Structure 1
Amino acid sequence: MDFETVMPVLRRLSLEAGDAIMEIYTSDDFDVRAKPDDSPVTAADEAADALISAGLKAAFPDVLCVTEEQAASHSQAADSFFIVDPLDGTKEFVHRRGDFTVNIAYVENGTPVRGVVYAPAKGRLFFTQADGTTVEETGDFDKDTVGTVKPLSVATPDNNALMVVASKSHRDQATDDYIGKYGVKDMTSAGSSLKFCLVATGEADLYPRLGRTMEWDTAAGHAVLLGAGGHVVRFDDHTPLTYGKADYANPFFIAYAPGVDLKAA
């Protein structure tokens, strides 16, 4: 895959999807429906999904695209594929909290090697460059021209004073009990894949997730974190979290900066 070609497409599609999402987000009202698994879906999810999937298929017709909003794609598999969550953090969107993202990633042999995470309501755009390193872009986000970028690198953690980020909508006692095993300086919460990005920027050292997630929820943030020098491992045995699993479901996992002394499950 020629990432010099791929990354501008992923970046542009994420920005275009963000525009479609914000048009609905800033409207007076929007409908919220329940999917078969009882998770919420809105017209914003569907508009962003249609835009991204059409764009990927036009640019890369021979590459599988797995997307949350198209159930038929969930039964398909390939060694390399795009995986998309057009609106990650729908609950945050519905409650107008702003912590939602557009997630687009490219997975190669089980690893999300490139990705884009765009938080349109927060004006934050994170992506891996063609060489795999991660940056955060600032500015007006011109769709065809990359603006000012800041290279990202994870922090050097102090195991006696860790910065921990946890889910805003899915926090539970098991997560709190696990976090209690660490020396914590401070904690913050965030929605969607922004949690991976906070570790990538050095704003947090550790993000444990003891709850159900799907690969489209995590792949783009995972790629962003890898490109900043971080790691994502399974919670149970601390082996790398891989992609292309049966039904695209994730086990519990831990995202962290190297140097964090991981505790046993």
Structure 2
Amino acid sequence: MRRIVVDQETLARVMRKLALEAGEAIMEIYNREDFEVREKSDESPVTEADEAADKLISAGLRAAFPDTPLVTEEQADSHGQSVATFLIVDPLDGTKEFVKRRGDFTVNIAYVEDGEPIRGVVYAPARGRLFYTRPDGKSVEEEGPFDPETPGETQPIGVRVPNNDALLVVASQSHRDQATDDYIGHYRVEDMRSAGSSLKFCLVATGEADLYPRLGRTMEWDTAAGHAVLSGAGGRVVRFDDQNPLRYGKSGFENPFFIAHAPGVTLKQ
């Protein structure tokens, strides 16, 4: 099999630019009085914002990296691929938050190499927060206002040293369940907060949380970008069942349950 080689400087620039442009398209629809919401075959919602962002990002990635496989949530024909190195996109992660106008939605673009998400961008346009991995793999948060063509000032981000007697925990806003609450109950928690979309990974990456457990169904496009950002900030994402690293390119691109955390958190079973 021919090895795919992607220039990391170009990758970082293109992913950042497309995420910001997609965010602009999403916010134009978000700020309307009304927009169309439909139901997909899996009963999850989809809006014209998902589709507009997907069209923009997919066209940009295919133009810049024509030899690199692309997997995107909104294109079902991309889900049958068997790949280990690829680009993966969730053009609007947190559609339920978008529909409810709660603001916790993101644009996710990631690059996976040999099953590991090594580059990612997470943009939360309604929150004005932009996180990404630099070409060297280190993660930063860029300060707004944002210009797609010209990067602004950035600050390196990194996980905090956790206190296992007073952990900061973040969990899903729309997919919280009893199993997750029961699992969190095994820890000594100082503060518990809810957040939507892949922002949860970024909160661990910036030291605003120590632990994000997910005991529910997710797909690789939901997690790859946030996973890359967290890894570049010194964090980890492991499978819930055996605490081995979460890998990508799985059949159907479906994840097992997982735990995202800062090193130093004593993980429970």
TM-score, length of structure 2 as denominator length: 0.98
Q: 1:181-225: CA deviations, max 9, x gaps?
A: 001001000000000000000000000000000000000000000
RMSD over aligned CA atoms reads 0.5
Rounded Cα–Cα distance in structure 1 between residues aligned with 2:142 and 2:240: 31
Superposed CA offset, 1:44-94 (max 9, x none): 000000000000000000101100000000001222100000000000000
Give the aligned partner of residue 85 of structure 2.
80
Taking the aligned partners of 2:62 and 2:161, their CA distance within structure 1 comes to 40
Matching residue of 1:229: 234
Pick aligned residue for 2:166 from 158, 161, 172: 161
For residues 236 and 116 of structure 2, the distance between their equivalents in structure 1, rounded to whole angstroms, comes to 11
Structure 1: segments with no counterpart, 5+ residues: none
Corresponding residue for residue 73 of structure 2: 68
Q: What residue number does 2:95 align with?
A: 90
Out of 240, 245, 256, the position equivalent to 1:251 is: 256
Q: Pick from 35, 40, 43 the counterpart of residue 30 of structure 1.
A: 35
The answer for the alignment partner of 1:126 in structure 2 is 131
Amino acid at match of 2:253: Y
Aligned with 1:39 (options 35, 44, 49):
44
Q: Does 1:191 align with 2:196?
A: yes
Equivalent position to 1:181, from 173, 182, 186: 186
Q: 1:111 aligns with which of 112, 116, 134?
A: 116
* Distance in 2 separating the partners of 1:165 and 1:191: 10
1:238 to 223, 237, 243: 243
For 1:81 and 1:117, the matched residues in 2 are separated by: 17
Percent identity reads 73
Give ranges in structure 2 of 5+ residues lacking alignment.
1-5
Q: Which amino acid aligns with 2:191?
A: D
Distance in 2 (CA, whole Å) between partners of 1:21 and 1:111 is 28
- Work out the CA distance in 2 between the residues paired with 1:164 and 1:140: 29
Instruction: Look up the match of 2:3.
Output: none
Residue of 36, 49, 54 corresponding to 2:59: 54
Q: Aligned partners of 2:144, 2:127: CA distance in 1, in Å?
A: 12
Partner of 1:206 in structure 2? 211
SS of structure 2 residue aligned to 1:220: helix
Match for 2:71: what amino acid?
V
CA distance in 2, matches of 1:245, 1:64: 14
Q: In 1, distance between residues paired with 2:185 and 2:83?
A: 39
1:54 is paired with a residue whose SS is helix
Report the AA paired with residue 257 of structure 1: A
Residue 151 of structure 1 corresponds to which residue in structure 2? Answer: 156
Q: 1:145: how far off?
A: 1.2
Paired residue secondary structure (1:223): helix
Q: CA deviation at 1:19?
A: 0.4
